[in-house]
Amino acid sequence: MAVAAGRETWVGRSVLRVEDEALLRGEGRFMDDLEPVPHAWHAAIVRSQLAHAHVSLDPAAALDLPGVRGVLTGDDVARLSRPFPAGIESPVPHYAAAVGTARYVGEPLAVVVARDRYVAEDAAELVAVDYEPLEPVVDPAAAEAIHERSFHYGDVDEALARADVVVRTTFRVPRFTCLPVECYGVVCDWDDPAGRLTAWTNFQGPFTLHGVAAAALGLRGDRLRLLTPPDSGGSFGIKAAVLPYVVLLGLASRVLGVPVRWTEDRLEHLAASSAATGRVTELEAGYTQDGELVALRYDALEDVGAYVRAPEPATLYRMHGSLSGAYAVKDVATRNRVVLTNTIPSGLNRGFGGPQLYFGLERTMAIAARRLGIDPAELARRNLVPAEAMPYRTPSGALYDSGDYAACLDRALELSRYAELRARAETAREDGRLVGVGLACVVEPSISNMGYITLAQTAVERAATLPKSGNAEGAAVAVDPLGGITVRLGTTPQGQGHRTVAAQVVADELGCAPEEVTVLSELDTATTPWTVASGNYSSRFSGVGVGAVQAAARKVRVKVDAIRAHLGDPELPLRKVAGSAHWNPEGLPEGMEPGLTAVAFHSTPNLDPPDVEDRVASSGAHGFVVDVCAVEIDSATGEVTVTDYVSVHDAGTLLNPLLADGQVVGGFAHGVGAALFERHAYDAEGNLLTSSLVDYLTPTAPDLPPLTVDHLESPSPFTALGAKGIGEGATMSAPVAIANAVADALGRDDVELPLTAPRVWELLGDSAHAEAADEVR
């Protein structure tokens, strides 16, 4: 249904965010601001000080402290709940608190509930913990695989055999976290007569995890009511992992008979919230002499930490359809293995599998370019999926919806003055300076297929279970008797501006201005339209979330138009139409329901379950990103300075260009952090060495290099408004683009993230020693 001719449209305009005024005034309503139930008691969590140990607890001294309501230990948790279900079988069951054995530093051992936080924290220190140390496993290479699957598309062995050049390299991506400003928060209130738990938490989805938490609690889905706050201090994936604390606090509320609240502090967050997986990838790539990529073979070892925590091993499979990246290679294979280590469990983290995949693939392209004597940009161009091939089916099953990858590359080369950057780098090297240029071309998937995780099962195993597919979202649009418009979302925004864009979409459908639309983004599983796929992840809002909003608004518009036609006035103001719908139902067209409210659900097409050959369209839309980066390295200190950075994105139709740029800048900040600053570091005993912001370094605004952003728009034929996700691409591309530039400056291939000054300085030392040895020889 098109917008009427001559009517002002709002989608595609840089409308200012409606969310910002309250935030700038300090009037946002975050999790810790909420007082949803009176007289809530406060919780403090006793955590393991060792990475691996048998534990026994004695809470007697804590229970004697005045003001303490009670203590729940891991043994209580095991008695009152079930292990969390996960995507694969694990030899180690995961409960909301350690049961008999602690498996990482910071793991919850018990929860203490007291009248206020001060007493709770004092009492937590009085819980006596007896440790029987066990040997920790920190190095994933030393861990035994708990899951292994191999996939073959085409004949990789034959393709590698006929290749003129084969690049074989091992790549390591460390564990890191996206570190939101706001930490976890939970308030739980058990209703004993109803047998129902109500939990307020800054959970972001996916709401598949609602069922995981309900299963752990032994409750039907309707007996676990989740509510999210109006505002969130960021998440970037991390807050999907708050639900184990909902279970822990929910059990405490149930057993102790009082509402319980808990707010995580920064030390707890760094030690025990969630982090990206670590991945070691052995990659083989075959090329012809003229640069055609003919084969890719991955061998991925995935470190998920101490437990397989849902939705893992999703990080390993989320990018499965895009194993070939942006390239038209036909023969692809991978072996996937999952290991457990005595470190923080993994979970959603911005990019979710993208940084891990593309670091290996795009580093390989750069290494191959040097060995073949072909410029990296030219090597990429020779292998990019051509525009005329769209929609393009990858060997492993993804359906790339639209895009002109070569045009994006050309635009990035033009904006960066690529030839000049290369010339400047050569001139600088002649002067003894360390200057390098890097490139990255990545496909940015969005709108995850809820069935891709079942690739962890064989086709036979999948056939014995309920098929999983698609990605659906719900929304509601209501017009009240005075013509006021209210929208309810199920996308749990974490700062992206969903309310702003939803208002733009509804304004276009109903012929009003965005400021006339009120959008409620706080989710309530008892009243908000939602699905198991609901939530804020995989950059799904612009595709499927907006589709649900538009569908609900169109249902209302159809009814509005029908009432106007019935009353004989096609221009009747919406307020008068609403008045008729609410106040004069007998005057409505025959058979029409009173009121002006619509609920709609929207699903992205083409997201079928994995097929019998293990192919899967793992995402519903695919953007494209080309980054060009230039760096200079201080030879005395190893410090890397990014001097130039260009990022060109094709995210289909831009619903709000201002917000799109904000997403690119935010993703870039996380990418720079992963490239130059951030990693979770453990010693051999499993002690966390980066346990505070003194040691876990993140970039601040002055640390971010200058960034030039541009967009090309190739609308997706598969989403409601042609939009694709844009929130994660730069997080996937920036780490490897910067690494490629550093490798180019150093003239060596063995660069690892993060490229901190001490690490680069060591590489400089190794290079100097090697040059000296060559001179001696």
For residue range 92-116, list pLDDT tens digits in order: 999 999 999 999 999 999 999 999 9
Flag whether pLDDT at 528 surpasses 50: yes
Flag whether pLDDT at 275 surpasses 50: yes
CA 191 to chain centre: 33
DSSP 541: I
Mean pLDDT over 630-645 rounds to 97
- State the Cα–Cα distance between residues 625 and 667, nearest whole angstrom: 12
- State the Cα–Cα distance between residues 631 and 646, nearest whole angstrom: 12
Per the CB < 8 A criterion, the answer to whether 89 and 255 are in contact is no
pLDDT in the model for residue 2: 45
User: Cα(first)–Cα(last) distance of the chain, in Å?
Assistant: 76
Find, among 253, 227, 259, the residue nearest to 242 by Cα.
227
pLDDT in the model for residue 18: 97
Q: What is the largest CA-CA distance in the chain?
A: 100
Strand 53-58, strand 128-133: pairing: antiparallel
Mean pLDDT over 429-456 rounds to 97
pTM, 2 dp? 0.96
- State the Cα–Cα distance between residues 695 and 693, nearest whole angstrom: 5
Flag whether pLDDT at 705 surpasses 50: yes
Does an H or E element contain 647, and which? Answer: strand 640-650
What is the rounded radius of gyration, in angstroms, for the C-alpha atoms of the chain? Answer: 27
Per the CB < 8 A criterion, the answer to whether 626 and 712 are in contact is no
For the chain, the average pLDDT equals 96
- Six token digits for residue 233: 């201090």
- State the Cα–Cα distance between residues 71 and 81, nearest whole angstrom: 16
Residue pLDDT, tens place only, 432-441: 999 999 999 9
- State the Cα–Cα distance between residues 689 and 228, nearest whole angstrom: 33
pLDDT in the model for residue 728: 97
Q: Output the DSSP codes for 442-500.
A: EEEEEEE-TTGGGGGS-HHHHHTS------EEEEEEEE-TTS-EEEEESS--SSS-HHH
Find, among 635, 630, 631, 629, the residue nearest to 757 by Cα.
635
Q: State whether residue 636 is helix, strand or coil.
A: coil
Alpha carbon distances (Å) from 701 to 246, 367, 648 = 33, 32, 21
Mean pLDDT over 52-64 rounds to 98
Flag whether pLDDT at 773 surpasses 80: no
pLDDT in the model for residue 638: 97
Per the CB < 8 A criterion, the answer to whether 541 and 496 are in contact is yes
- State the Cα–Cα distance between residues 246 and 186, nearest whole angstrom: 6
pLDDT in the model for residue 387: 98
Residue 335 CB coordination number (10 Å): 15
Flag whether pLDDT at 146 surpasses 50: yes
Find, among 370, 287, 293, the residue nearest to 326 by Cα.
293
pLDDT in the model for residue 774: 44
Find, among 213, 211, 226, 252, the residue nearest to 77 by Cα.
252
Those residues whose C-beta lies under 8 Å from the C-beta of residue 523, and which sit 6 or more positions away, are 226, 227, 228, 489, 490, 492, 530, 534
Backbone angles phi, psi at 359, to 5 degrees: -60, -45
Alpha carbon distances (Å) from 724 to 391, 494, 712 = 14, 18, 12
